[in-house]
């Protein structure tokens, strides 16, 4: 997947058109669309990365770990073995999960 395709996906996730993104970044009409065929300068790539809170490496296809999406806390809780040096029990995980669900209204 190329740079333009990644930017397009990130914009779609935020319900943002490429044109609106260009306006928000102060770019001329069609600037980002041209990146489908030509590579922009590093400064432009960095501005887009900062806008979407992803790494430049992610936009350039160099970082498979940064998907631009937050990690699901349930996955983290399922993998946590200890906290502050003490082993976590399944009950501990459920208490934390219940707190987070209450806090974030799930």
89 — pLDDT class (breaks 50, 70, 90): confident
Q: How much is the average pLDDT of 40-69?
A: 81
Could you say which architecture CATH assigns to the domain 3-60? Answer: Orthogonal Bundle (1.10)
- For range 57-67, the mean pLDDT: 70
Per the CB < 8 A criterion, the answer to whether 70 and 83 are in contact is no
Position with higher pLDDT, 37 vs 80: 37
Domain ranges of the chain: 3-60, 73-104
């Amino acid at each position: 997947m190329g740079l333009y395709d990644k930017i397009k996906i990130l914009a779609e996730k935020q319900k943002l058109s490429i044109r609106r993104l260009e306006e928000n970044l102060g770019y001329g009409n069609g600037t980002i669309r041209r990146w489908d065929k030509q590579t922009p300068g590093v400064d432009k790539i960095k501005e887009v990365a900062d806008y979407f809170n992803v790494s430049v490496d992610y936009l350039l296809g160099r970082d498979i770990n940064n998907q631009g999406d937050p990690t699901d806390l349930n996955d983290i809780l399922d993998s946590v073995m200890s906290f502050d040096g003490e082993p976590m029990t399944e009950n501990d995980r459920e208490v934390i999960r219940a707190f987070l669900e209450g806090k974030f209204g799930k």
